[in-house]
């Protein structure tokens, strides 16, 4: 959970200092894997009078998160090493999923550790006097 928090803070800082420009989804790339299909957008944007494009590193299952022709905000690092679509899933999807997995594991461990107390709370008649 701490790692996901650090990742989210790093993303927040990165977006805070990134240049934000308007972009457009020009293609939806379909990828097939063991888990099924994923849909990844290709986005174009103009920065410093030059047209750039990139393929998002985050895909989505059906239905695709974006449509061809859709306008999106794009966050671009100063040296163009990193580009991302300005949506919650694209920016914070991975840290959110990691946080939820960590939270689930923490709750599970708490239940296991407090197993007898929880059992006696739910079923007081099972407790030895």
Crossing angle of helices 115-122/88-113, nearest 10°? 80
CA distances from 31 to 39, 41, 59, 106 (A): 6, 11, 9, 34
Residue pLDDT, tens place only, 29-86: 888 877 778 888 899 999 888 899 888 877 777 787 788 998 999 998 887 778 888 8
Number of Cβ atoms within 10 Å of the Cβ of 72 = 19
**Model-wide pTM > 0.75:** no
> What CA–CA distance (Å, rounded) separates 73 from 119?
51
pLDDT of residue 129: 67
């Amino acid at each position: 959970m701490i790692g996901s928090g650090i990742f989210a803070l790093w993303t927040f800082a990165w977006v805070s200092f990134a240049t934000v420009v308007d972009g457009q989804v020009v293609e939806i790339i379909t990828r097939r894997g063991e888990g099924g299909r994923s849909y990844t957008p290709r986005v174009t944007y103009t920065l410093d009078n030059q047209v750039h494009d990139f393929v998002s590193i985050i895909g989505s299952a059906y239905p695709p998160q974006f449509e061809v022709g859709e306008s999106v905000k794009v966050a671009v690092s100063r040296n163009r090493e990193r580009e991302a679509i300005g949506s919650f899933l694209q920016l914070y999807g991975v840290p959110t999923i990691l946080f939820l997995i960590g939270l689930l594991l923490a709750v599970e461990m708490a239940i296991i550790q407090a197993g007898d107390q929880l059992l006696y709370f739910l079923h007081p008649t099972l407790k030895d006097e």
